[in-house]
Homo-oligomer: A and B are copies of this chain.
Amino acid sequence: MNNDIENEEPAAPRPGISRRGLLGLLGTGAAGIAVGAGAAAAVAASTGVPTTRSYPFSGEHQAGITTPAQDRLHFAAFDMAASATRDDLRELLADWTYAAERMTRGLEVSETGAVGGPPLAPPDDTGEALDLPASGLTITVGFGPSLFDDRFGLADRRPAELEPLPRFAGDALVATASGGDLCIQACADDPQVAVHAIRNLSRIAFGRATIRWSQLGFGRTSSTSTAQATPRNLFGFKDGTANIKAEERQAVEDHVWVQADDDVPGWFVGGSYLVTRTIRMIIETWDRTRLEEQERVIGRDKGAGAPLSGGTEFSPIDFSAVGAAGQKLVDDDSHVRLAHAAQNGGVQLLRRGYNYVNGNDALGRLDAGLFFISYQRSPQQFVTVQQSLARDALNEYIKHVGSGLFAIPPGATEGRPLGAALFA
């Protein structure tokens, strides 16, 4: 396996969505006029959300990883249809590439879009983002371990480490939040834009792939840029203070991107491993815990987010600091200690999670928590940290109910749709 792409099957620059994709839309694909970003200014001004940001879909790496974390998420995992072939998969990825590239520019999924097509055909685009600009939309596509079974002739293309995560202490996983052949992470400043992306990509997949599970997130819980303030999770604590930031070029190279000298197939170089964990928070129990205990469990103070060893939010944590009675200031089983690179052989993750509330349960408790997302060069980074967290004092207040591992290929480039090298 190497990174040579000369012999790949041709993935010509596509003028639009494939015939199969258009069948999914039940549209006609006839040429028309592009609409979309037109009335953007009016709506943006009215909602108060400045939505002029846009990020290129194509490039060396996929966007949505080191991109400054947007505030809203719609994530979906897909399973390929039982009837889907290798060609279906390749064409689906090309169709997604075409539509995603357009949507991240604030355009509709095709040139005819929601209203530019023939009146006797269903519109190509569903239209709910018609007046909205790009809104910083990123669309990030990944491949689950199951995609590399014997269905699509890709068994020999599977990165060796792309296999289901081991079971962790306390896992309470449900199938409806775990696994999947494919995934799409859509992040945007405007939730309607993120939802529009998932909905339309799901529609384009019709007959080829179906949503297996999905999750909306409403508040980012990590900063991925030094320009971003640290947000709070639903425990009320600042989260992601020690996260890898995009500006830390060396750390990103070392910990996020799969490198040519890693033991991976060539198509995956420049990619990353994505881990998702749906972490339900038992917030009622947490809320009844005294402040001192909350801070001990986390290892930081709740107000400023400073480590209990002293200083301010961004002060290095002194894990050896002791108090007057000789007790460790940052407890042995505190979250910040067990999750920290210094305690895990230097392992770091690029975290990109979101707060979620999925209604309430039958007891009237909010079904709320953290949709954890991390990107890393190897799943072993996550495994190391998660195994370290087995004795995390926080475990009393959380339950991991969902889990996913995906290989994120490098970015699409001119004439080369996402994942094209998979089929070389």
A7 to chain B: which residues have CB within 8 Å? Answer: none
Residue of B nearest to A194 (CB): B218
Report yes or no: A211 in contact with B365, Cβ–Cβ below 8 A.
yes
Q: Mark A350-367, 1 if CB is under 8 A from B, else 0.
A: 000001011110011110
Q: How far is the CB of A170 from chain B (nearest CB, A)?
A: 23
- Asked whether B127 lies within 8 Å of A236 as measured between CB atoms, the reply is yes
User: Complex formed: what's the CA distance from A72 to B72 in Å?
Assistant: 12
Asked if A101 is an interface residue, CB under 8 A from chain B, the answer is no
Is A229 at the interface (CB under 8 A from chain B)? Answer: yes
Chain B proximity of A203: nearest CB distance (Å): 6
The answer to whether A403 has its CB under 8 Å from any CB of chain B is no
Give A365 to B213 CA distance when docked, in angstroms. Answer: 10
Q: Is A34's beta carbon under 8 Å from chain B? A: no
Indicate whether A417 reaches chain B with its CB closer than 8 angstroms.
no
Pair A218/B236 contact, Cβ less than 8 Å: no
A365 to B212 Cα, complex, angstroms: 9
Assuming A130-B236, A218-B195, is B49 touching A49 (CB within 8 A)? Answer: yes
Question: Are the C-beta atoms of B303 and A35 separated by less than 8 Å?
Answer: yes
- A79, A210, A229: which has the most chain B beta carbons within 10 Å? A229
B119, A292: Cβ atoms under 8 Å? yes
Stretch in A265-273, A281-289, A328-336 touching the partner: A281-289
Q: Which residues of B contact A213 (CB under 8 A)?
A: 359-360
Most buried by B among A199, A216, A234, A236: A236
Tell me, rounded to whole Å, the shortest Cβ–Cβ distance linking A283 to chain B: 7
The answer, among B46, B210, B219, for a CB contact under 8 Å with A228, is B46
Which of chain B's residues have a CB closer than 8 A to the CB of A12? none
B231 touches A43 (CB 8 A): yes
Interface residue? A142 (CB, 8 A): no
A364 touches B50 (CB 8 A): no
Interface membership of chain A positions 112-138, coded 1 if the CB is closer than 8 angstroms to chain B and 0 otherwise: 001101111111011111110000100
The verdict on A1 contacting chain B, using a C-beta distance below 8 Å, is no
Q: Are A218 and B219 in contact (CB-based, < 8 A)?
A: no
B-facing residues in A207-259 (Cβ within 8 Å) = 210-216, 218-220, 223, 227-229, 231-237
- A46-B227 in contact (CB<8A): yes
| Contacts beyond the supplied A48-B189, A131-B232, A214-B357: 13 A-B pairs with Cβ under 8 Å | A26-B288, A43-B231, A47-B229, A48-B136, A78-B364, A117-B291, A119-B290, A122-B290, A123-B236, A199-B366, A203-B287, A210-B363, A213-B359
> Which of A's residues lie within 8 Å of B, judged by CB?
25-26, 35, 39, 42-43, 45-50, 53, 71-72, 74, 76, 78-79, 114-115, 117-123, 125-131, 136, 189-192, 195, 198-199, 202-203, 210-216, 218-220, 223, 227-229, 231-237, 283-284, 287-292, 294-295, 301-303, 355, 357-360, 363-366, 368
A–B complex contacts, Cβ < 8 Å, 27 sampled: A46-B227, A47-B71, A48-B50, A48-B71, A48-B189, A114-B291, A114-B303, A119-B291, A121-B290, A122-B287, A123-B291, A125-B236, A126-B236, A126-B287, A130-B302, A191-B218, A192-B219, A192-B355, A199-B283, A199-B368, A203-B284, A211-B360, A214-B357, A214-B359, A215-B359, A216-B357, A358-B358
